[in-house]
Amino acid sequence: LEEGRGVKPGQAVVFLRRLAAALDPAHRSGLAHGSLSPDCVLVFGDGTLLLEDFGVASALAAAGARAVGSPAYAAPELETSPPSPAADLYSLGVLFYELVTGRHPFEGTNLPAMKLEKRYAPLSRSSPGCPPALDALLDGLLEPDPARRRPAPGALEAALRAL
- Percent of the chain past pLDDT 90, that is, above it, reads 47
pLDDT digits (tens, 9 = 90+) for 30-86: 888 888 888 888 888 888 888 888 766 666 666 666 655 688 999 999 888 888 999
pLDDT at residue 1 tops 60: no
Is the C-alpha dihedral spanning 109, 142, 76, 61 positive or negative? Answer: negative
CB atoms within 10 A of CB 60: 17
Q: Which residue has the higher pLDDT, 105 or 108?
A: 105
Region for 44 from its dihedrals, namely left if φ exceeds 0, alpha if ψ lies in -120 to 50, beta otherwise: beta
Report how far residue 19's alpha carbon sits from residue 4's, in angstroms, rounded to the nearest whole number: 20
